[in-house]
């Protein structure tokens, strides 16, 4: 079926290869022309999203250690972004793996999630350096980190494609979407990088929304485009200084509303409908930021409650238990050896301490067949587990 020939997002171009003929989408340059229509609804969503980001910044500043919170949200983001692409591993699997508590029940593709975490941390570290801007070169370096040693590792990690790719369908003739040819891809990427750094008066959140959909339309890698595109959102939030710390991740929103996510993206290249996509995106920022603030408050409440319970132990036990509790917010799955190292006490004393925290239902033994017993700060991990995403439906329906 022949695609619509032209809209403001781009055009479909007939391509004749040696094997077959197909229609590839050639994106228009950014910003959109005619310009984006920022109506009252979009302006309201933009204001609410900006306000929610400000509240999230304040909430993370009030946490006992915001790095722990950010790390857990990053694990959560990495898990969900990878699951959108078919990865089976869960947030808990990743937490186990990072604690060295792997077993036969953990899907092997958990390494893809760890790569995502490493890639995002790598990108964040780079853009914090004043002399290292967010560029196409950095995006390729991030992609290399994402793909090393996992599924897709043979599809030229760290390099833009030099052949035609497509989305959906077993062959290019049954594809649901065909990105631009290699030559057109290069021109589109050059414009995307220019748009990223220009002084266009568009609000930064709207620029990020446009950059995300443009990147997905270009699809410059042979594999990993969806994950890189979602990872870029967090990098851009920090690059444009909308957040002081990388505490907001949208993959949870995109996964819960996955059908709408894909439909909104498709309607950009099919109809030139940037406005509906931007509204969906801004609503996601608003909803997810509010959810993150709620989680931050729950973390503070959990810590206060558990510290109070631990303070009722004997003086020495209380001191060591509170020290261990502080560590649990960054390392929620531990062994007795870990507890000994974190507190500086002997193995025997650490074992007694862990048992006391199990009795208080702060730690839970994990049934893993390892030489060292493994314990989990379950109440903390539960604040980030996938089943909690149903709250997004409630928040979204109130908007």
| Total tally of structural domains belonging to the chain | 1
What is the per-residue pLDDT across 58-84, written as a single tens digit (0 to 9) for each?
Answer: 888 877 667 767 777 777 777 777 777
**Model pTM score:** 0.86
- Reference 275, options 46, 43, 47, 42; nearest CA is 42
Q: What stretches in the chain show pLDDT beneath 50?
A: 1, 387-388
| Within a domain: 218 | yes
Structure token pair of residue 97: 């793996």
d(CA 367, CA 352): 19
pLDDT at 26: 97
| Within a domain: 52 | yes
| Within a domain: 97 | yes
Residues 351, 117 contacting (CB under 8 angstroms): no
Those residues with Cβ within 8 angstroms of residue 235's Cβ, 6 or more apart along the chain or in another chain: 120, 123, 124, 127, 134
- Reference 22, options 151, 177, 144, 152; nearest CA is 177
pLDDT at 112: 80
Q: Which CATH number goes with the domain that contains 41?
A: 1.10.3290.10
Residues 334, 342 contacting (CB under 8 angstroms): yes
Residues 138, 127 contacting (CB under 8 angstroms): yes
| Within a domain: 311 | no
Residues 10, 17 contacting (CB under 8 angstroms): no
3-state SS, one letter per residue, for 265-284: HHHHHHHCCHHHHHHHHHHH
Going through 309-351 in order, the beta strands assigned E by DSSP cover 333-335
Query: Domain containing 230: what range?
Result: 36-294
- Reference 137, options 123, 152, 125; nearest CA is 123
What is the per-residue pLDDT across 221-260, written as a single tens digit (0 to 9) for each?
Answer: 999 999 999 999 999 999 999 998 888 889 889 988 999 9
| Within a domain: 309 | no
pLDDT at 37: 96
pLDDT at 102: 61
């Amino acid at each position: 079926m022949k695609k619509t020939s032209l809209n403001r997002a781009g055009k479909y171009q007939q391509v004749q290869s040696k094997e077959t003929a197909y229609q590839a989408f050639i994106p228009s340059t950014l910003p959109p022309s005619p310009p984006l229509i920022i109506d009252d609804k979009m302006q309201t969503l933009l204001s609410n999203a900006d306000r929610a980001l400000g509240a999230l910044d304040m909430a993370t500043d009030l946490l006992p250690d915001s790095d722990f919170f950010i790390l857990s949200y990053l694990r959560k983001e990495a898990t969900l972004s990878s699951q959108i692409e078919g990865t089976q591993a869960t947030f808990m699997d990743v937490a186990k793996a990072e604690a060295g508590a792997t077993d036969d029940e953990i899907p092997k593709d958990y390494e893809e999630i760890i790569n995502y975490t490493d890639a995002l941390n790598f990108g964040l570290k780079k853009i914090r350096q004043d002399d290292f801007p967010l560029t196409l070169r950095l995006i390729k370096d991030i992609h290399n980190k994402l793909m090393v040693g996992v599924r897709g590792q043979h599809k030229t990690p760290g390099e833009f494609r030099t052949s035609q790719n497509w989305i959906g369908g077993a062959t290019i003739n049954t594809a649901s979407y065909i990105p631009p040819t290699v030559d057109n891809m290069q021109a589109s990427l050059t414009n995307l990088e220019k748009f990223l750094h220009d002084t266009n008066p568009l609000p930064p959140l709207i620029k990020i929304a446009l950059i995300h959909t443009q990147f997905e339309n270009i699809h410059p890698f042979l594999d990993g485009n969806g994950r890189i595109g979602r990872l870029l959102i967090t990098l851009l939030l920090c690059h444009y200084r909308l957040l002081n710390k990388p505490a907001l991740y949208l993959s949870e929103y995109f996964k819960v509303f996955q059908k709408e996510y894909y439909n909104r993206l498709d309607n950009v290249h099919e109809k030139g409908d940037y406005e509906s996509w931007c509204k969906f995106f801004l609503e996601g920022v608003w909803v997810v930021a509010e959810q993150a603030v709620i989680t931050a408050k729950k973390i503070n409440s959990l810590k206060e409650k558990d510290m109070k319970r631990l303070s009722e132990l004997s003086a020495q036990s209380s001191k060591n238990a509170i020290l261990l509790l502080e560590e649990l917010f960054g390392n929620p799955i531990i062994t007795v050896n870990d507890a000994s190292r974190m507190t500086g006490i002997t193995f025997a004393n650490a074992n007694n301490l862990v048992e006391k925290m199990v009795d208080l239902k702060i730690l839970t033994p994990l049934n893993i067949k390892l030489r060292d017993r493994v314990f989990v700060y379950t109440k903390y991990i539960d604040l980030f587990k996938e089943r909690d995403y149903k709250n997004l439906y409630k928040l979204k329906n109130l908007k």
